Amino acid sequence: MATAAPIEWIGDATTGALRLLDQTRLPNDVVYLDCRTVETVFEAIRSLRVRGAPAIGVAAAYGVVVSMQGTADRFDTEFITALGAVCDRLASSRPTAVNLFWALDRMKQVGSTIAGLPGAERLVRLHREARTIEVEDQAMCAAMGRVGAAYLTDGMSVLTHCNAGALATAGDGTALSVIYAAREQGLQIEVYANETRPLLQGARLTCWELMQRGVPTTLICDNMAGWVMKSGRVDAVIVGADRIAANGDAANKIGTYSVAQLAKAHGIPFYVAAPSSTFDLSLADGSRIPIEERAASEITHGFGKATAPAGVRVFNPAFDVTPASLIRAIFTEKGAIEPVNTETVRRCLGKPTSPQ
- Give me the CATH topology for the region 145-349: Rossmann fold (3.40.50)
Q: What is the pLDDT of residue 340?
A: 98
Q: Which of 242, 249, 280, 320 is catalytic?
A: 242
Whether 145 contacts 152, CB under 8 Å: no
Amino acid at 335: G
Whole-angstrom Cα distance, residue 183 to residue 178? 9
Whether 222 contacts 257, CB under 8 Å: no
3-state secondary structure of 122: helix
Distance of CA 111 to CAs 61, 102, 127, 150, 250, Å? 12, 14, 11, 40, 31
Select from 61, 67, 33 the least CA-distant residue to 47: 33
Whole-angstrom Cα distance, residue 309 to residue 119? 55
- Give me the CATH topology for the region 7-141: Four Helix Bundle (Hemerythrin (Met), subunit A) (1.20.120)
Per-residue pLDDT of the chain (356 residues; tens, 9 = 90+): 456 789 999 999 999 999 999 999 999 999 999 999 999 999 999 999 999 999 999 999 999 999 999 998 888 899 999 999 999 999 999 999 999 999 999 999 999 999 889 999 999 999 999 999 999 999 999 999 999 999 999 999 999 999 999 999 999 999 999 999 999 999 999 999 999 999 999 999 999 999 999 999 999 999 999 999 999 999 999 999 999 999 999 999 999 999 999 999 999 999 999 999 999 999 999 999 999 999 999 999 999 999 999 999 999 999 999 999 999 999 999 999 999 999 999 999 997 654 33
Q: Which residues 6+ apart lie within 8 Å of 78 measured at CB?
A: 71
Whole-angstrom Cα distance, residue 44 to residue 114? 28
Strands 243-245, 250-253: pairing kind? antiparallel
DSSP state of 25: S
Whole-angstrom Cα distance, residue 77 to residue 79? 5
Select from 9, 1, 6 the least CA-distant residue to 205: 6
User: pTM value?
Assistant: 0.94
> Is it true that the peptide bond before 198 is cis, omega within 30 degrees of 0?
yes
Whole-angstrom Cα distance, residue 144 to residue 285? 23
Ordered DSSP codes for 200-266: THIIIIIHHHHHHTT--EEEE-GGGHHHHHHTT--SEEEE--SEEETT--EEEETTHHHHHHHHHHT
Whether 316 contacts 295, CB under 8 Å: yes
Is 34 annotated in the active site?
A: no
Domain spans in the chain, listed from the N-terminal domain onward: 7-141, 145-349
Q: What is the pLDDT of residue 248?
A: 98
Q: What is the pLDDT of residue 4?
A: 74
